[in-house]
A and B are shown apart, each in its own frame.
Chain A
Amino acid sequence: MSEFEKEEKIKAQLEAKFGAAITELTIQRKNRIWFEIPADRIPELMKFMKTEMGHTHLATITGFDGGENLGANYHLTDTHGIITVRAKTPRANPHLPTVTGVFPGAVPYERELEDLFGIKIDGLAPGRRYPLPDDFPADQHPLRKDWKIADAYPDEATAKQEAA
């Protein structure tokens, strides 16, 4: 048996259930597994991992801007290791399904994706925006790579230039 016995077992379990949907699976080191799955399979995968595999804790969701695609990394743990699931969505029409049905604590993480990356979360209950200020323009998303502070506050940017 290899030194990653536990990790290999998780890999086999996932591949038996989801087959070719799981791509780019890597075992980085002990306790660290990374893979990618199509966005529409995310809720199903979360449910499977939570109920069948004992990964009961969703540590957080990290959004990312990968140029053509936006996306999110879901970090799941079974207290001993971290499994990161990547899901991509096209920049032109970004949307991901909600996982709040499986992990009710994920609400703030998903609101962050909506606010900071502009990824529409399908099925997320309506609520107050988070974490941006109430008066921040709704069509701007600061964590996208092409966003500049001048897009939201043009007056301040020119004032700073004049001062310099």
Chain B
Amino acid sequence: MKIKDKIILWSRLKSPWLLHFNGGACNGCDIEIVDALTPKYDLERFGAVLKSTPRHADILVASGPMTRQQVKRIKRIYEQMPEPKFVMAVGACACSGGVFDGCYSVVSGIDKVIPVSIYIPGCPVRPEAILDGAVKLLGALEASSK
């Protein structure tokens, strides 16, 4: 690996910036995502920062069963993110539709719309699970570039 690539990989691993997207979730997962950033869990110690523009983000943290109204919006947001990009499906709804599977206004799962890198189950997910998912994602990124 060239020194340039090493630096890029190092900075990628040390500053995974997050973009949070609510695809029609009940807010349970969303407050737990924010909770993971606050002092008790402190996801920020891994260099993660919650950003609000897709152009700055590395990881799309998406929750909710994806309402049909939002399908076009999440596609556009995904396209706006710079490469390499990752998608974290947070919660049972984002993974498979959860309790809302079969409702007429949802497509049941974010992977029906955009590719997902890591699934975090739970209804709602616990902040510990989000931490675990983030660390596993970074670990996989490091392993794949060796």
A interface residues (Cβ-Cβ under 8 A, vs B)? 132-136, 142, 149, 152-153
Contacts and interface: CB of A to CB of B under 8 A. Distances in A.
Contacts of B69: 133-134
B67 interface: yes
Given A133-B68, A152-B104, 10 more contacts: A133-B69, A133-B105, A134-B69, A135-B68, A136-B68, A142-B104, A142-B105, A149-B102, A149-B104, A153-B104
Contacts of A133: 67-69, 105
Contacts of A142: 104-105
Nearest to A153: B104
Contacts of A132: 105
Interface residues of B, number: 6
A153 B69 CA distance: 14
14 contacts: A132-B105, A133-B67, A133-B68, A133-B69, A133-B105, A134-B69, A135-B68, A136-B68, A142-B104, A142-B105, A149-B102, A149-B104, A152-B104, A153-B104
A135 B67 CA distance: 12
Interface of A is mostly: loop
Q: Give me the 4 closest cross-chain CB pairs, A-B, nearest first.
A: A133-B69, A133-B68, A149-B104, A142-B104
B24 to A, nearest CB: 11
B74 to A, nearest CB: 13
Nearest to A143: B104
A132 to B, nearest CB: 7
Nearest to B103: A149
Contacts of A152: 104
A6 B68 CA distance: 47
Contacts of B105: 132-133, 142
Nearest to B107: A156
B78 to A, nearest CB: 19
Nearest to B69: A133
A153 B71 CA distance: 15
A76 B138 CA distance: 55
Contacts of B102: 149
Instruction: Determine which residue in B67, B68, B69, B104 has the highest number of CB atoms from chain A within 10 A of its CB, and name it.
Output: B104
B58 to A, nearest CB: 30
A134 B70 CA distance: 10
A152 B107 CA distance: 13
B109 to A, nearest CB: 12
Nearest to A134: B69
Interface in B102-121: 102, 104-105
A149 to B, nearest CB: 5
A132 B68 CA distance: 9
